[in-house]
Chain A
Amino acid sequence: MYLLYVLTALALAVSFVFSREKTVKALKISVKKFINILPAFLLMIIIVSVILYLIPESLITAYLTGKSRYAALLFASFFGSVTLLPGFIAFPLCGILLKKGVSYMILAAFSTSLMMVGVLTFPVEKEYFGAKVTFLRNFISLIIALMTAFAIGIYFGEL
């Protein structure tokens, strides 16, 4: 995180040395772009805050353990798609589930769809790419996540 701040400050300083005008122009572009997308971000965070309340970690754990393999696979990709967990929550959760006996394949389906499929980021992605492309991209991502999960299952001898 600090690296990002240092890098940004450095980039700004270098830019300022080369051209004051261009740097001011860059900052104007930054502010304008940021403000334009802010409502979409706000909507996304609101939806995330409600969904995380409705789908707590305990619920995910309950649905991924003690189910038949394919039911768990479906639940895993569903929860992965409709939630948005930062890595520092998602992977420790996967680690706990692994210890509880959830297979690598199920966890791959969960973590990969978590990373690739963004139902909750739809409001933001739609602003940049349009609803149709956003839908197509996420649908393809879901298929890739499932294929990756199967490959992991084969690798760990679970299939």
Chain B
Amino acid sequence: MKHAKILFFAAYFIFIAVSLPLSFNPGREIGVNFYVFSSEMLKLLPCAFILIGLFEVWVKKESVEKHMGRDAGLKGHLWVILLASTTVGGLYVAFPVARSLYGKGARLEVIFTYLGAAAVCRIPMTIFEASFMGIGFTLVRFSVSLPLIVASSVLLGRYLEKRNYSLRAGA
């Protein structure tokens, strides 16, 4: 499996490298896409992971458990929605944050709300959306999707907890 992955990566980069001098258009365009996306992510990910590292050493497990754990109730969802609204980039930044929150004792349902909210209500993106689609569009989208996200997260989280699901350690 691991070798297959390395071979795949190698084949991809050889394809791009050969396409460039040969002016093979599909290869060039794919190469440009790769460059655009990887540079976009490299601008964000180091900061995100440094903040995650600081979070891991400084934030006490008890405080996350208290506000986002089993006894926090719906308030936990409110906290993570606020946290999620400050997310920059995309969901790929939210996954490692969610994983760290879970490691500190946040409940599964709260984690799912966090991911859903990070998808739909990031502040920079929302401002952008409202300017192109109108504020009405954004307001309706928020007021319909957020309650559905919280409700489905509670259902999915409790269903998985009942089946003793736990995320694997490490990651």
Contacts and interface: CB of A to CB of B under 8 A. Distances in A.
**A and B bind:** yes
B52 A43 contact: no
Interface residues of B, number: 63
Contact of A4 (B40, B44, B99, B132): B44
B156 A26 contact: no
Interface size class of A (residues with CB under 8 A): 35 or more
A34 B49 contact: yes
**A interface secondary structure, majority:** helix
Interface in A113-159: 115-116, 118, 121, 124-125, 127-130, 133, 136-137, 140-141, 144-145, 147-148, 151-152, 155-156
A98 interface: yes
A115 B117 CA distance: 10
B161 to A, nearest CB: 12
A108 interface: yes
Contacts of A137: 112, 115, 156
Nearest to A85: B90
A29 B57 contact: yes
A39 B54 CA distance: 23
Given A41-B41, A112-B145, 13 more contacts: A4-B88, A7-B51, A8-B47, A12-B54, A26-B57, A45-B37, A49-B37, A112-B141, A116-B120, A127-B171, A129-B95, A145-B145, A148-B145
